[in-house]
């Protein structure tokens, strides 16, 4: 199975990086083909330029491999913190530039962009691992969990991913070593479940 893993956190000592290590360890142990992007370490340019917006615009050279990869992988895994109910700006910019028309979605002939797009992703699954300093109860009660809507309804459902699953780990700032170890076990088990030959149970 070919899996794309995208990490968005600027601190190499963060728990997000520990999640990424657990994900990569599980994938490589099971001999999957892995494409890994640490967006901050790579210095990814998240700025979408005006000349990239048209659907028939040529894809900039620095994006070609990203677009080719995301359109052909069997699974996509995103790892990032909850910042203001959103992904970090670098990851939002990555989605803006890579999940482009002709790569992640298209509109039917005659549709000028006002309709519902047709998803083009071949991914059997999309996983999102989030960290947060807000309790799950407060996130749901006060904020309505905007990240769930962003990733599931606004991105992966529209772009054709067959299955979506998200795990949230909180509260990070007060978590213990034992708790983090348990969370990493959840990460490894989740990855294994979605990448097994028979798919998620």
**pLDDT at residue 108 in the model:** 84
User: What's the rounded mean pLDDT across residues 7-22?
Assistant: 98
Candidate from 85-94, 122-131, 139-148, 179-188 with smallest mean pLDDT: 139-148
Determine the Cα–Cα distance for residues 133 and 171; give it in Å rounded to an integer.
4
The CATH number corresponding to 2-195 among 3.30.43.10, 3.40.50.360, 1.25.10.10, 3.40.50.1370 equals 3.40.50.360
**pLDDT at residue 34 in the model:** 98
Say whether pLDDT at 201 is over 70: no
Q: Which residue has the higher pLDDT, 107 or 181?
A: 181
**pLDDT at residue 139 in the model:** 72
Name the percent of the chain lying above pLDDT 90: 82
Q: Per residue in 16-47, pLDDT tens? A: 999 999 999 999 999 999 999 999 999 999 99
Note the helical H segments in the chain: 15-29, 39-42, 61-72, 89-98, 136-138, 146-148, 157-159, 177-195
**CA distances (Å), origin 56, targets 53, 94, 163, 198:** 8, 19, 29, 38
The DSSP secondary-structure symbol of 60 reads P
Determine the Cα–Cα distance for residues 9 and 88; give it in Å rounded to an integer.
8
What does pLDDT average to over the chain? 93
Domain boundary assignment for the chain: 2-195
Give yes or no for a contact between 64 and 125, defined as CB atoms under 8 angstroms apart: no
């Amino acid at each position: 199975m070919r899996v794309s893993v995208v990490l968005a956190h600027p601190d190499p000592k963060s728990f997000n990086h520990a999640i990424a290590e657990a994900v990569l360890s599980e994938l490589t142990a099971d001999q999957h083909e892995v494409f890994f992007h640490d967006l901050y370490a790579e210095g990814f340019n998240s700025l979408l330029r005006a000349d990239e917006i048209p659907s028939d615009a040529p894809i900039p050279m620095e994006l070609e491999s990203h677009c080719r990869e995301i359109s052909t992988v069997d699974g996509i895994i995103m790892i990032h913190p909850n910042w203001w109910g959103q992904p970090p700006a670098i990851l939002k910019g990555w989605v803006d530039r890579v999940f482009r028309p002709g790569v992640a979605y298209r509109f039917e002939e005659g549709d000028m962009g006002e309709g519902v797009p047709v998803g083009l992703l071949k991914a059997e699954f999309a996983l999102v691992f989030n960290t947060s300093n807000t309790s799950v109860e407060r996130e749901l009660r006060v904020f309505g969990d905007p990240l769930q809507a962003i990733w599931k309804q606004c991105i992966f459902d529209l772009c054709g991913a067959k299955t979506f699953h998200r795990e949230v780990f909180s509260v990070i700032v007060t978590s213990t070593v034992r708790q983090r170890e348990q969370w990493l076990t959840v990460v490894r088990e989740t990855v294994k479940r979605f990448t097994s030959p028979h798919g998620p149970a």
